[in-house]
Chain A
Amino acid sequence: MKRKMEKIAAGVGIVILSLLTQSSLRAQTVATISGTITDSSRQVVPHASVSIEDVDTGQSIETRTDSAGVYTEPNLAPGNYTVSVAAEGLSTKTVKSKLTGATEQSIDLALNAAPPQQGNPANQLPAAPQPNAPNAPSNPPSSLSLQDLGFTSAQTQGSAQRQALLNKRTHMLKVHQTLGLITAVPMFATLISGPQAKAKGKNGQPITEPTSANLDLHIALGGLTTGLYFTTAYYAMFAPKIPGVKPKGAIRLHRDLEWIHGPGMIATPILGIMAYKQENAGEKVHGIASAHAPVAYATAIAYGAAIVAVSWPIHWKFWER
């Protein structure tokens, strides 16, 4: 008992000592980041939000500039940091900084006027002083503009509407993707349950083993698959189209396979109903109804291939080599 207590005490002692040592080491190597935030007319920006993020740990410290536009953040451990500054009406600026040892890093930033909500922020580029840059310029900025480069305003002007269209497209295609993967589960189960779902045996007698419950299960799974499939298709068909974009790459194969599994998903249930009716009438499944199973398999294979086309690791895709 005594020995056990001694071990625990020793363990606690080691932990405390370790913490004290770390704390002591940390205290010896703290660094400071400070600076002055100005706008493009060199006026100081009070109350600007300053976020200092430790890149390695992901922890960030928030502070603000004082009335003189100055911020200071002491007690920083050596490491890589990202300093982001934001202020109302001004664009956000982010710079990276590396603190080595107990240093005082000065990062002064000039914030440009915030860009309009619609449009590109930099048709005419303002000054951009570089903090702590070894070859930082001191003369006025270039007056070069995007128009000088030969870009038209149609090319450089953004549109919130266009972005909203892209956002809606991405959202709908993400739903399409998720539903598509979910649909594959009952589709696979329907294929497995199919061979055991005959209403009548080879001798024309009702199947008792496996029971008719297999047929009910097969029909239920088929119905679920059909419902999910067409819901999935809806999200792809009605996702906004982006004018001027020609399908290229894996998406082309994905789309081409629609011409197999799309008609297949319409034909399979129809053929299944026909086969079911023929069997129930005491007939052997014949005519076009006998194609139910092959059409179902072809549909499922095309569907699986369509998923693989857009999911397979790209560096393994022979058509992208």
Chain B
Amino acid sequence: MIKTMNKKILIAFLLFALPMFAQADTQWLLEQSTLSYHMSHPMHEVDGVSHAAKGKGICHAGQCNFLIAVPVKSFDSGDSNRDLHMIQTTRGGQFPMVIVRTQFPEAATASPTIYADLEVQFAGQTAHYSHVPFQRVTQGNEVRITGTIPATCSDFKIERPSFLTVPIKNEIPVKVDMTWRKM
């Protein structure tokens, strides 16, 4: 009788406890961010900055999935006319968000350099960047991630804006500075 009771208690415990362990996902929330693109022209050096990115990450079964998005119109280069032109050139009216997805093993979140494979959706196109290094620094309960995405205009079929008939450089590297908090 007691043995039967013990078995029942054990089964009940396992039934309740196992899903609890299975659901022990780690979640990350983007606390603050600074994303800046750099545009280079023989007569112009322009940086457009946005602090409007939002992001979340879920680590499940040893694998982490992160989603980060930022409105195209949130980038500020210090000149509203240029920003509107950038939105137009990058088809931001039709595709108003820049969306970045990345997946990597959870173990990588502990290393000082995270090599991420990025899927970037921008201007109605999708581009992939493999093995992009990001530096990780832990600050209390928060993790600061910095790095540069080696984006180019041609990756997203963006017609390069020109000034005095000279187009900007194809490279538009995007610097990333993000602070994530473990939830």
Chain A contacts to B: CB under 8 angstroms: 82, 91-96, 112, 115, 117-122, 125, 128, 130-139, 141-142, 144-146, 148-151, 155-167, 169-170, 173, 242, 245-251, 254, 310-311, 313-315, 320
Q: Of A95, A157, A245, which one neighbours B96 at CB under 8 angstroms?
A: A157
Q: Is the CB–CB distance between A251 and B80 below 8 Å? A: yes
Nearest CB of A to B114, in Å? 9
CA A146 to CA B78, docked complex, whole Å: 27
Per-residue CB proximity of B121-136 to A under 8 Å, as 1/0? 1001111111100000
Q: Across the interface, do B45 and A314 meet the contact criterion of CB distance under 8 Å?
A: yes
B95 CB contacts on chain A under 8 angstroms: 115, 120-121, 158
Chain B's interface: helix, strand, loop or mixed, by majority? strand
- Which residues on the B side are within 8 Å of A167 (C-beta)? 88
- Contacting A at CB under 8 A, from B83-136, are 83-85, 87-89, 91-97, 99, 101, 103-105, 108, 115, 117, 119, 121, 124-131
Which residues of the other chain, A, contact B69 by a CB distance below 8 angstroms?
Answer: 146, 149, 151, 156
Residues of B16-73 whose CB lies within 8 A of A: 43-46, 54-56, 58, 60-61, 63, 65-67, 69, 71
Query: Known contacts A94-B126, A118-B94, A162-B93; is A146 also within 8 Å of B88 by CB?
Result: no
Number of B residues, CB within 8 Å of A: 58
Distance A313 CA – B87 CA, assembled complex (angstroms): 21
**Are B119 and A128 in contact, with the CB atoms below 8 A?**
yes
Residues of B within 8 A of A164 (CB): 93
Assess whether B182 is interfacial by the CB under 8 Å rule: no
Q: Which 7 A-B pairs have the closest CB atoms?
A: A142-B65, A249-B79, A163-B93, A162-B93, A166-B88, A251-B81, A137-B103
A313 in contact with B126 given A122-B121, A150-B54 (CB within 8 Å): no
Please tell me if the beta carbons of A159 and B101 are within 8 angstroms of each other in the complex. Answer: no
- 14 A–B contacts from the bound complex (CB under 8 Å): A125-B99, A128-B101, A137-B63, A137-B103, A142-B103, A144-B58, A146-B69, A156-B96, A166-B84, A167-B88, A170-B85, A249-B82, A251-B82, A254-B81
Within 8 Å CB of A320, what residues of B?
78-79
- Please report the C-alpha to C-alpha distance between residue A119 and residue B91 in the assembled complex, in whole angstroms: 11
Are B43 and A313 touching (Cβ within 8 A)?
Answer: yes
